[in-house]
């Protein structure tokens, strides 16, 4: 059974850090491009980072550039999102996803999705 399971969300103070994990099962994550998305209440889903399946090319949304880092550990079949300098605007449900495309350009190109993990930034 193909599955992505996120973990690591929670409540963090402004300026703090969190690392989200996304464990894959039922398929080999190494063969896929991976991405992280988030959706805040009342807002559209936002793609925040992606890493290609081939050369490790990464990209980031302007809203998180310089603060978030996407990575993957193929040996553990797991992807990560390291988040730092968090602020209230980062509060959202975060989703991981995997795509057959070398470098997917939108959410429709992702085949597998996790269930989401809540990140709340508040003092």
* Residue-wise pLDDT tens digits, 58-69: 999 999 999 999
pLDDT of residue 107: 92
Mean of the pLDDT values across residues 50-61?
Answer: 89
pLDDT (tens digit, 9 = 90+) per residue, 103-113? 888 899 999 99
Q: Give the whole-angstrom CA distance, residue 61 versus residue 77.
A: 24
Q: What is the pLDDT of residues 12-35, one digit of tens each?
A: 999 999 999 999 999 998 889 999
Q: Between these two residues, 103 and 117, which has the higher pLDDT value?
A: 117
């Amino acid at each position: 059974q193909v599955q992505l399971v996120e973990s690591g969300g929670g409540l963090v103070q402004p300026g703090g850090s969190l690392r989200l994990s996304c464990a894959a099962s039922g398929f080999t994550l190494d063969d896929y491009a991976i991405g992280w998305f988030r959706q805040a209440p009342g807002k559209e889903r936002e793609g925040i980072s992606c890493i290609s399946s081939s050369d490790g090319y990464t990209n980031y949304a302007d809203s998180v550039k310089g603060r978030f880092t996407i990575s993957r550990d193929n040996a553990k079949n797991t992807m990560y999102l390291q988040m730092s300098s968090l602020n209230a605007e980062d509060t959202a449900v975060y989703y991981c996803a995997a795509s057959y495309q070398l470098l997917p350009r939108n959410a429709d190109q992702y085949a597998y999705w996790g269930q989401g993990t809540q990140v709340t930034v508040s003092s």
